[in-house]
Amino acid sequence: MKRIVIIIFLGILIASCGARRKSNLSQANSKKLVVISEKSNKSNNEVKSLVINTPLQYISFFKAVAINEMQLYGIPASITLAQGILESGSGKGRLARQANNHFGIKCHKWNGDKIYHDDDKEQECFRKYNDPNSSYRDHSEFLANRKRYSKLFKLKITDYKGWAKGLRKAGYATDPKYPKKLISIIERYELYKYDKNPEKKYSENKKSSQIIVKRHIVQKGDTLYSISKLYNTTVDKIKKQNNLNSIVLSIGQKLKISTY
């Protein structure tokens, strides 16, 4: 009789422990799901704030933009990405977070919004953009439209070392180690692979009225409006060229963009 009582008691105890373990596991999984869900929602709701933690995440997000800029302006995508990583601290620096300025471009003759930040001197004036894509476009135009960088555009698109040294020589940065830093970033993350075989030839004459047709691959957070601003065109033109009946886009969708 005692044996029966003991066996029944042990059975109840084991069942109770199992139930507690399942309950604890369920609560733990529930907490994980909540955290993942919160991160996912945060990412979806704050695309333009760019919550980026590593250089690899930065590259993943901006490589398509850098390639598009290379195809249009002839600046190696590897150089653009390396400068973005270095100048913005992979998107975590103050200028990138508060002004969407990923290349440390100062105001000069800038008529847009501004932000003041300590650099070579205290509280220097830097350009402020509505979104990161605008920063990438301004970086391309900044290099393409200034004579002091003109020699760089005679280099091969794959000559990232020449570009890195040329940027320092032309006065883009005062740091004597700037070329080595860019080259190190490019080789560490193999950014040079994005310079090979551009899908479209860029314009040799940036001020000509020649029509340049590009391809844009839709990324997370893209809208027809943001894409139109990126390429200095209009929503209607993009819709017409791609036979779009609505403004709804899907990630990975390929769009043809005509620019002048």
Instruction: Report the C-alpha gap between 193 and 134 in whole angstroms.
Output: 24
Structure confidence by residue, pLDDT tens digits, 220-252: 888 888 888 777 788 888 888 898 988 889 998
Q: Residue 210: its pLDDT value, please?
A: 45
Tell me which DSSP letter residue 244 carries: -
Structure confidence by residue, pLDDT tens digits, 115-164: 998 877 888 999 999 889 999 999 999 999 899 999 999 999 999 999 99
Q: Residue 14: its pLDDT value, please?
A: 53
- Count of beta carbons in the 10 Å neighbourhood of residue 198: 17
Instruction: Report the C-alpha gap between 234 and 180 in whole angstroms.
Output: 40
Structure confidence by residue, pLDDT tens digits, 41-84: 333 333 344 568 899 999 998 999 999 999 989 999 999 999 99
Q: Enumerate domains of the chain plus CATH numbers.
A: 54-195 (1.10.530.10), 212-259 (3.10.350.10)
Q: Which residue has the higher pLDDT, 17 or 222?
A: 222
Query: Given a cut of 70, is residue 208 above it in pLDDT?
Result: no
Q: Residue 233: its pLDDT value, please?
A: 81
Handedness of CA 38, 40, 41, 46 (dihedral sign): positive
CB 241, CB 257: distance < 8 Å: yes
